[in-house]
Structure 1
Amino acid sequence: MTNRNGGEEHLAPVIPLFGAHTSKDAEPGEMPRRTGPEGVWRSALADDPITPAPFVPTLVGGMDQDEQTPAVNSDELSARASEMLVRKLRAKQLSVSEARTVLRSNDVDRDTIDQIIDEFLHRGYLDDRTLASLLVTAGVERKGQGRVALSRALSQRGIPRDIVDDALSELPDDDEERALEYARSKAPGMARLEPEAALRRLLGQLARRGYGGSSAMNAARTALREAGSGRSGGRSGVRFVESD
């Protein structure tokens, strides 16, 4: 090969790869070839592929590199779950059933849940009887609820049936009086309604609070009659006259 200055340029000798024997006829700069048993020339790079070594994961600090998070021991998991439940209880008093639901929703195993619940019961953080009593008092005094509505509300909170019955047994048997008291608080707001419409609406409100049957009917009739007769000598507002 001749360079720009007209002199002969020499190429570096080609070294066979992977111990291959080059052909005697190979030109300078040509890829070295092997001669196989069948007498066919083949490129030396076509043979002896480099086989990668099998991947063996190495452990760093006792954890596989492929793992995303280190293992958490049971004591640490229990502590985290307990702290989370305490935060819930600071915002709202829970029944035992509700506390179990909270723990299950955070992927806490059954054994750990049982341990936490037992500990919270022992410390008085959970108490279904106290909760039932508070709910009954609030339902009666603030919402004017009757026994049916109270029973339904406590059951929805997961409080056992026997505790619900005990809490309701502490109430005096005066559903009729509480129904009348509630009806009296609502009747004045129905002054512009027709008597039958006012009665239907008031009965519906009483039913939603757990008052039904004759107790609700008597309370609604009495409250509407009082509200009608107490306005302008009975010349305006709801006037309800009892009929047979």
Structure 2
Amino acid sequence: MSFVDDRIPGDDALDPVEVRKAAAESLVRKLRTRSLSVSEARQVLRTHGLDGTQIDDVIDDFLRRRYLDDHELAQMLVAAGVDRKGQGRVAISRSLSQRGIPRDVIAAALDELPDDDAERALEFARTKARSLSRLDHDTALRRLLGQLARRGYGGSVATNAAKTALNEASFGTKSSGVRFVESD
């Protein structure tokens, strides 16, 4: 069986319609596995060699079909950051920004978030304080502050949460357990 190549010998130019179609199909495959921001979708399309106008056309088509929606993606990522990862506003904002979501969309998504960073930080600190019980108070405080900072809680929110959680976990006081007593 032989295949006939209907291109003219020496004509290596690809059909722009076929290139656009292949790029759009590639983008759909990516969207099946992970939601993408408009910025991330543009990067995917650039790898297929589309020019700016072609990229804009595909993006406009995907926006019209609601395959892409930065507002919806931002809301999903905020919810995941709060519910699953226990992140604060700073960490959530940073992750949205890294995904190429525009600042105004990030601000709108964070505005919908209840102002309970202190409560979420304390809840996270309480769960971690138990695992730091074998350490002295200063070391535990330093480690807990680091963990809170990596989740986007900074300054007084992190300090208050860490100190409260460690105090609740009885750091700095004699805990029950084995005591060694000197005998004369």
Superposition TM-score tier, normalisation by shorter sequence: 0.7 to 0.9
Q: How many residues align structurally?
A: 172
Q: Counterpart in 1 of 2:52?
A: 110
Indicate whether 1:223 and 2:165 are aligned.
yes
| 2:8 counterpart residue number | 63
1:71 CA displacement: 3.1
1:77 to 5, 14, 19: 19
What fraction of aligned residue pairs are identical, expressed as a percent? 60
Shift of 1:70: 4.3
User: Could you tell me which residue of structure 2 aligns to residue 155 of structure 1?
Assistant: 97
The aligned residue for residue 150 of structure 2 is: 208
Deviation at 1:235, TM superposition (A): 2.7
Which has the bigger relative contact order, CA under 8 A and spacing at least 6?
2
5 Å-filtered alignment, 1:133-144, equals 133-144=75-86
Displacement, 1:106?
Answer: 2.0
Partner SS for 1:63: coil
Task: Quote the residue 1:37 is aligned against.
Answer: none
> Distance in 2 between the 1:199 and 1:183 partners?
10
**Contact 2:19 / 2:48 at 8 angstroms: preserved in 1?**
no
The CA deviation string for residues 139-164 of structure 1, in whole angstroms up to 9 with x for no partner, is 00111100111110100000000000
Larger Rg: 1
Select which of 132, 150, 156 maps to 1:190: 132
Residue ranges of structure 2 left out of the alignment (5+ in a row): 178-184
Misfit runs of 4+, over 4 Å: none
**Residue number in structure 1 paired with 2:30:** 88
Cα deviation, residue 214, structure 1: 1.0
Report the residue type matching 2:89 in the other structure.
Answer: R
Matches within 5 A, 1:30-69: 63-64=8-9, 67=10
Quick one: distance in 1 between partners of 2:7 and 2:155? 71
Q: Structure 1 residue 234 and structure 2 residue 175: aligned?
A: yes
Give 3-state SS (helix, strand or coil) of 1:172's partner: coil
Q: Secondary structure at the match of 2:49?
A: coil
TM-score by length of 1: 0.67
> Are the equivalent residues in 1 in contact too, given 2:144–2:162 (CA < 8 A)?
yes
CA distance, structure 1, for counterparts of residue 142 and residue 176 of structure 2: 22
- Higher-strand-fraction structure: 1
Amino acid at match of 1:83: E
Question: In the TM superposition, what whole-angstrom CA distance separates every residue of 1:204-236 from its partner, at most 9, and x where no partner exists?
Answer: 00001111111111100111111127x9x8335
